[in-house]
Chain A
Amino acid sequence: GQSLEQPSEVTAVEGAIVQINCTYQTSGFYGLSWYQQHDGGAPTFLSYNALDGLEETGRFSSFLSRSDSYGYLLLQELQMKDSASYFCAVRDHTGRRALTFGSGTRLQVQP
């Protein structure tokens, strides 16, 4: 089977940097994805790491260590609009494009 663990809640202030960690167990690994979901909204794709290292996209960066089965999402220069739930996800072990999601980390950005 597959499982992902991430913190349930994180609180930070505007302008700060926050890191959301994700550890995973999976029988077949293709890569780690991150999705953002605002309350009442649809999950939207943020980033994907298939190889070790850091991927940067604007204020958001994502890191992967395959040997440690670990990744994180780094959000810089936090804005109020970043308040949302963040999910890490891995592809189903059979290789289908279906994703297995973690339970999500609720990020609250305070002024």
Chain B
Amino acid sequence: ETGVTQSPTHLIKTRGQQVTLRCSSQSGHNTVSWYQQALGQGPQFIFQYYREEENGRGNFPPRFSGLQFPNYSSELNVNALELDDSALYLCASSLGAESQETQYFGPGTRLLVL
């Protein structure tokens, strides 16, 4: 069974640029959530995708957008990057019918905006 994978592992961008981060969910998981984790803080929910549809969104501006594909992999796109977007971006997959609050996290993409 393959775990959650993310690419790239690290990324450096400049302010105003756009970035796309990718996530492959754990085998059989149909739900992907994206989180932003600033240094020294807990992960903050960006949005969730369930069967290719957005299934909820946190307090992030529209320049944060996403997609989920038929194989349940997902992308996070951030436009017009700002310095404060520098963070670890985590994706987590879960099984829709799962009864426990278990999400399986990928290793994250560390984004630095200069």
Interface size of A in residues (CB-CB distance below 8 Å): 23
Kindly list chain A residues whose C-beta atoms are within 8 Å of the C-beta of B105.
Answer: 42-44
A103 to B92, CA, bound (A): 18
Which are the 7 A-B pairs with shortest beta-carbon distances?
A101-B42, A42-B105, A96-B56, A33-B101, A98-B45, A45-B102, A48-B101
Contact of A94 among B4, B56, B92, B102 (CB under 8 A): B56
B101, A89: Cβ atoms closer than 8 Å? yes
B101, A104: Cβ atoms closer than 8 Å? no
A66 to B108, CA, bound (A): 32
Contact of B42 among A41, A44, A94, A104 (CB under 8 A): A104
Given known pairs A42-B90, A42-B108, the reply for A98 and B42 (CB within 8 Å) is no
Residues of A in contact with B (beta carbons under 8 Å apart): 30-31, 33, 41-45, 48, 87, 89, 91-92, 94, 96-104
- Distance to closest chain B CB from A85 (angstroms): 9
- A sample of 7 inter-chain contacts (CB < 8 A) reads A30-B101, A42-B4, A43-B105, A94-B56, A99-B33, A103-B40, A103-B41
| Total contacts A-B at CB 8 Å | 64
Nearest A residue to B48 via CB reads: A98
Given A44-B105, A91-B101: 19 more A-B contacts, CB < 8 Å: A30-B101, A31-B100, A33-B101, A41-B107, A42-B90, A42-B106, A42-B107, A43-B105, A48-B102, A87-B42, A89-B101, A96-B48, A96-B56, A97-B31, A98-B45, A99-B33, A99-B101, A101-B44, A104-B42
A19 to B42, CA, bound (A): 19
